[in-house]
């Protein structure tokens, strides 16, 4: 039986499943970021503090990376919607994933933690 974290990824349909797996590997391979199961979703911590999470947008049905302190990040592709602190980066699973854009936002988010 899969743990809840692995189960979250495995039950998704393609191409969302592959997209989430890619985002997961990108986050966990980046600058001391660790993965945890928190609040019923995959959460990513940087040096023991909540940093980001992966989820599916309820209306658009697209995966996204949620940035915990997104309200402090200025990037034209981040959406705040009705969140006070978080901003999200929607990822279209039918297109090539914007790795350089994601890394740029990750770098900006990490620089705010120093």
What is the pLDDT, as a whole number, of residue 114? Answer: 67
pTM: 0.94
pLDDT at 112: 86
pLDDT in tens, 67-89: 999 999 999 999 999 888 999 99
* pLDDT tens digit sequence for 14-28: 999 999 999 999 999
* 53 has pLDDT over 90: yes
Residue 40 makes CB contacts below 8 A (sequence gap 6+) with 4
Instruction: Spell out the domain ranges in the chain.
Output: 4-111
Yes or no: domain 4-111 corresponds to CATH 3.30.365.10 = no
What is the crossing angle of helices 99-111 and 16-28, to 10°?
40
Longest Cα–Cα distance in the chain = 41
Contact (CB, 8 A) for 102 and 26: yes
């Amino acid at each position: 039986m899969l743990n809840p974290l692995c189960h979250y990824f495995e039950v998704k349909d393609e191409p969302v499943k592959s997209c989430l797996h890619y985002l997961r590997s990108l986050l966990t391979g980046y600058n001391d970021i660790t993965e945890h199961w928190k609040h019923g979703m995959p959460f990513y911590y940087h040096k023991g503090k909540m940093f980001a999470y992966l989820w599916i947008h309820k209306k658009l049905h697209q995966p996204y990376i949620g940035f915990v302190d997104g309200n402090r990040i200025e990037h034209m592709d981040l959406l705040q919607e009705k969140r006070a602190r978080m901003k999200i980066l929607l990822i279209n699973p039918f297109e090539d994933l914007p790795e350089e854009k994601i890394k740029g936002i990750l770098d900006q988010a990490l620089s705010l933690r120093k």
